[in-house]
Structure 1
Amino acid sequence: MTAPSRIRNGMALTAICLAGLMFGLEISSVPVILPTLGSVLHGGFADLQWIMNSYTIACVTVLVATGVLADRYGRKRVFAITVAAFGVTSLLCGFAPNIAVLILGRSLQGLSGGAMLICHVAILSHQFREGRQRSRAFGTWGLVFGFGLGFGPVVGGGLVAVLNWRWVFLVPVFVAAVTLVLLALGVRESRDPEARRLDIRGIGTLSLAVLGLTFYITQGADLGFVSPVELAVLGLSVAFFVAFVIVETTGKQAMFQFSLFRIRAFSGALLGCVGMNFSFWPLIIYLPIYLQHGLGYDVGTAAVVLLAFTLPTLVLPPIAERLALKYRPSVIIPLGLYVIGGGFLLLNLGSGIDHPSWLTILPGLLLSGIGLGLTSTPVTNTTTASVPSNRSGMASGIDMSARLVTLAVNISVMGLLLSVGILDSLRERLAGKLPGQQVRALATHVANGDDPVALHHTFPQLTLLDPTGGLVPSALARGFGMVTLYGGMGVWVLATASLITFGLFRRSVSTSRVVESASGPVDDHQQREPIND
C-alpha cells in the first residue's frame, strides 16, 4: 500500500472511531447526570426515563432504513449527513432550556446517532478489504467504541464537576466537526447498485409498537395501568406489533426475515443479545441515582464507582473471543449471561445490608461487568457468522434492533420497579404520619434523585419525621433491590433459554459446528439452508 493510501485510510479510521466514541459516550455519560438534569430542569422521574428512551427508540427507527439509503445514495454521503446532524442535535441538547426541549433533542440525536452507527460497519468493510488490515481496523474501532461506553460515566461526572451538565452534550459538537473534516479527506465513497427498497411499513409498525409499549409502562404509574388511555395505548401497541409481523412475513422487501430464527446459532446468540440489554445496560440508568442519593456520594465519586461496572466490558472482549473459539459461543454466551445474573444478585445482597457502601456493592458491579465482557463480542460475531453472507446485514440489523428495543422497554420496567419499591418503603415508614397523596409525591421526588436539601425544602415535615436521615436511603435500597432481583432472575431465564436454543435436542452435529464459528464468515455453500438441528 502506498503512503497516500495509508494516510487516507488512517484518516478514515480515525473518523469512524471518533463517531463511535461520540455514540458510546452519549449512551453511558448521560445516566450519571440524570439526577442533576432532574434537579436543574425540574423534570420528573418519567422525564428522566424519556431522556434515555427517546434516544434508544429513535435509534431503532432508523437502523435498517439508513443501511438501505446508504447503499443506494452513497455511504460516505449519508455518513457525513448523519455526523453533521449528530453535532447539530447535540448542540440543541446542550442549550435545552427545559426538559421538553431536551427530550426532543435526545430524540433527534438518537435518529442521527443510530443512522451514524449503521454507516460505520459498511464503510469499514469497504475501506479495509485485506484480511489483516480489516481485522486491525475493526479491532481499533471496537476498542474506541468500548472506551466510550466504559469511560462514559467518568467523562459525564467529570464534566459536571468541572464545568456543568451542558458540556456532556456540547463536547460531541466539537468532535463531530473534526470527524467531518477527516471523513471528507479519508473516506472513499461506495454504493450498492443492487440495494433493496426501503421497508417503510415494517419500520413504522415496529417503531410505533415499541413507542406504545414504552409509553404504557412509563406513564402507567401516573395514568393508571387500567385507565382507558393506558389500555388504548397498550391495545394499539399490540396491534402495531401484529401488523409488523404480518408485514414482514408477507412483504417482498421485508427488513426482517423470520426464517433466520430457525438457525439455532443465530437465535441462541440473539437471546444473549437480549439478555445483555435486559439487565446490564438498563441498570446503568438507575445506578447513579442509588449511588448519589442512596449511598450519599457526589457525582464525581459515583462516576468513579461506576467504572467497576463498565471497565470489564472494555478489557474482557478479546479474552471472550479466544474463549469462544476454544469452547464455542454456545457455551460462552449463556455462561456470560449467568455471570451477569450472579452479579445482579450480589448487588441485591450488597445493597440490602444494614450499612451499604461502595465496598458492599463492588463485587456485584465487577461480576456484572465481567459477564457482559464475556458475552458482547461472541454475541455480535455469532449473529452475523451464523447466517448466509448475503443476509449478514439483515442479521446485524436484527441484532441491533433487538438490543435497542429491549433496552427501551427495560428502562421503563426497571424505572417502574424502582418507583414501586420506593413507594412501598415510604408507606411502611410514614403510615399515619403523612397523607397518602404526600407520600406518593415524596416517592416521586426520591425516585427523581432530588437531593436531601431539596426534599426537606419541599417536605418540611421530614425534619421531624426523619431526624436521622435514613428514610431516603432505605427507600432507594428497597427499590434498587427490586430492580436488581428482577434483572438477575430475568437474565438467568434468558441464559437458560439461550443454552437450550443453542444445544438441546441437537440432531445435526456437523451443521452446528459450521454455524458456531465466531471467527469469521463461513463458505456460502456450507451456510445455506435453515438449520433445524
Structure 2
Amino acid sequence: MVRAGGPQADRPDRSAGPGRSPAPLLAVCAGYFMVILDVTVINVAVPVVGRELSASLTGIQWITDGYTLVFAGLLLTGGALGDRLGNRRIFCTGVVVFTVASAGCGLARSAGFLVAARLCEGLGAALIVPGSLALLQQAYPSPAARSRAFGLWGSMAGIAASAGPLLGGLLVTTVGWRWVFFINLPVGCVCLLLTLRHVAVSDRRPDRPLDWPAQCALIAAVALLTAVLNEAGRRGWTAPLILTGAGLCLLAAAGFVLRERLARTPVLPLRLLRSRSMSGAAAIGLLFNFAFYGMIFTASLYFQHHRGLTALRTGLALFPAVAMTMFASVLSGRLARRTGHRPLVVTGMLLGSAGLAGWAAAGQDPDYVLLVAPMMAAGFGTSFALTGSTATVMSAAPDTYAGTASALFNTTRQIGSAAGVALGGSLLAGAATFPTGLRLGMAIGATAYLTAAALALFCVPRKGGHA
C-alpha cells in the first residue's frame, strides 16, 4: 500500500548494482524492443492481413494506426502513472498488457477484432515506453553512463526496426501472419522476468494526481488527427466530415492547453515547455518519425501492391533503410561525447531529407538500385538523430518529471508516426497513380526532415551549453 508522506519505494531495492551492471539496460531494452518491433513488423504483414480478413485500404491503415493512436494518446498518462505509482511497477504492468494483447491479435478472426486488440497493444506500449527512459535515468545517474545507455536504448529501436520487415516477411511466408504477434509472447515473458529481477524499484509520488480532463482532450486530439488523415484520401480533403474533424481536432488541442494552464496538478506542466531544448527536441522527434515511418509504410505498400513482391521480398527490399538504424544510434552516442548533440542531430536530419528527396526525384518507376541509397540515408539519419534528441529532452527535465518528459517525447514521436502512416495512405489512395502518391509523400517527408534540421540549430544545445 502507498503511505502518505512523500516518495516511497513499493518494496525493498533488489537491484543488482544499478549504474554499474548492464542488467537494467538489458531488461528495459527488451521491453522497448518489443514495442518498436510491433511498429515495423506489421508493415509487410498488413497487405496479407487485409486480404485474409477482407479489410479495405482504410482498414489496413487502422490496423497500423490503431496501435500508434492509443500509444500516442496515452503516453502522458503512462508517464504520469509512472511518476505517481513507481516507474518499474507501471513498466511491468505495460509488459503484461502488451503481451496478452499480442496473443489477442494473433487469435483475431476479423479486422474489427484485430483493430481492437491492436488498441490494447497500444495501451501496453504507452505504459512501457515512458518508464523505460525513466528507469534508465534512474539506473545510470552519471552523464557518461546515461549517454551510453540512451544510445543503446536508441540502437534497440534500430535493431527492432531492422528486424521487423525481415522477420515479418519470413513469418508471413512460412508460418503465417498470426506469428507476427505471437512472437511477442516469449519476448514479453523474458522482459518481465529480467525487470523484476534486475531493475531497482522506483520512488512513488502519491502527491501527484492524474489530470483526466486533460488526458481525454489529448486522446481526442490525437484520435481526430489520425482519423482525418486516414479518411481524407477516401472522402476528399475538402469533404465536410474531414473539415469538421480537423476543426474538432484543433478545438481538442486548445482544450488540452487551456486545461493544463488552469489545473493545479497538470499532467504536462506547461512551464516544462518553456524550455527551448525540451519543446524543440520533442518537435524534432515528431518530424523525423513522421517522415521515416510514413516512408516505411508507403514503401511497403508500393513494393507489394505496385511491384508485386512477396512479404519476404518486401522485407528484404526495405532492409537497407532499417539496417542503417542498427548502429547509427550507438555511433551517435559515442560521438556525442566529443561533439555534443547538435551537430549530430542536424547531420542526421539533413541526411534523411536528402534520402527522401532523392526517392522523390528518382522518377515514376525507378530501378530498385536507385532507391537503395535514399532508403539508407533516411534510416541512418533518423537513428543518428534519435540519441541526441532523447538526451536533450531528458536533460532538460527535473528528475521528478523524468516519466513525464519521456512521455512527452514519445507522445510527439508516435503522433508523428500515426500522421505519417495516415497521410501516406491517403496520398496513395487519392493520387492518380500509385507512384505519384508515393513520390508526393516522399517529398513531404523530405521537407519534414529539413524542418527538423533547422529546429535543431536553435533548440539542441551546443556541447556543454544550455538552452
**Pick from 40, 44, 55: which aligns with 2:56?**
44
Unaligned runs of 5+ in 1: 425-474, 504-514
Moved more, 310-319 or 156-165: 310-319
Aligned mates of 1:231, 1:142 — CA distance in 2: 37
3-state SS, counterpart of residue 55 of structure 2: coil
Aligned mates of 2:149, 2:397 — CA distance in 1: 23
Aligned mates of 2:276, 2:87 — CA distance in 1: 32
Moved more, 150-159 or 310-319: 310-319
3-state SS, counterpart of residue 54 of structure 2: coil
Aligned to 2:249: 237
Aligned mates of 2:26, 2:405 — CA distance in 1: 26
Aligned to 1:493: 451
Whichever of the two has the greater Rg, that structure is 1
Mapped pair 1:31 → 2:48:
no
Aligned mates of 2:234, 2:357 — CA distance in 1: 30
Mapped pair 1:56 → 2:68:
yes
Task: State the shift of 1:132 in Å.
Answer: 7.1
Aligned to 1:400: 410
Q: How does 1:239-254 map to 2 (within 5 A)?
A: 239-254=251-266
Aligned mates of 2:334, 2:139 — CA distance in 1: 26
> Match of 2:232, as an amino acid?
G
**Pick from 300, 303, 321: which aligns with 1:291?**
303
Task: State the shift of 1:6 in Å.
Answer: 6.3
**Are the equivalent residues in 2 in contact too, given 1:345–1:485 (CA < 8 A)?**
yes
Task: State the shift of 1:83 in Å.
Answer: 1.3
Aligned to 1:471: none
Cα RMSD of the aligned pairs, angstroms, is: 2.8
**Superposition TM-score, scaled by structure 1 size:** 0.78
Aligned to 1:220: 232
Task: State the shift of 1:308 in Å.
Answer: 0.7
Aligned to 1:272: 284
Task: State the shift of 1:206 in Å.
Answer: 1.2
Task: State the shift of 1:95 in Å.
Answer: 0.9
**Are the equivalent residues in 2 in contact too, given 1:382–1:516 (CA < 8 A)?**
no
> Match of 1:495, as an amino acid?
A
**Pick from 96, 103, 117: which aligns with 1:105?**
117
Aligned to 2:438: 480
3-state SS, counterpart of residue 39 of structure 2: helix
CA distances 1:54-105 after superposition (whole Å, capped 9, x unpaired) = 1111112322222332333343333332211111100110011011111111
Aligned mates of 1:392, 1:516 — CA distance in 2: 22
**Are the equivalent residues in 2 in contact too, given 1:153–1:303 (CA < 8 A)?**
yes
Mapped pair 1:372 → 2:330:
no
Aligned mates of 1:210, 1:163 — CA distance in 2: 35
Aligned mates of 2:27, 2:221 — CA distance in 1: 34
Aligned mates of 1:136, 1:184 — CA distance in 2: 23
CA distances 1:397-429 after superposition (whole Å, capped 9, x unpaired) = 2211111112222221121112222xx2xxxxx
Aligned mates of 2:274, 2:459 — CA distance in 1: 11
Aligned mates of 1:173, 1:5 — CA distance in 2: 26
**Pick from 456, 462, 466: which aligns with 1:516?**
462
Aligned to 1:120: 132
**Superposition TM-score, scaled by structure 2 size:** 0.88
Unaligned runs of 5+ in 2: 1-13
User: Which has the bigger relative contact order, CA under 8 A and spacing at least 6?
Assistant: 2
**Are the equivalent residues in 1 in contact too, given 2:277–2:392 (CA < 8 A)?**
yes
Aligned to 1:5: 16
Distance 1:396 1:137, change over 3 A: closer
> Match of 1:362, as an amino acid?
V
Distance 1:329 1:121, change over 3 A: closer
Aligned to 2:5: none
Q: How does 1:14-29 map to 2 (within 5 A)?
A: 14-29=26-41
CA distances 1:270-294 after superposition (whole Å, capped 9, x unpaired) = 3322221221122111111112233
Task: State the shift of 1:492 in Å.
Answer: 1.9
Task: State the shift of 1:138 in Å.
Answer: 5.0
> Match of 2:169, as an amino acid?
G
**Pick from 328, 337, 340: which aligns with 1:316?**
328
> Match of 2:412, as an amino acid?
A
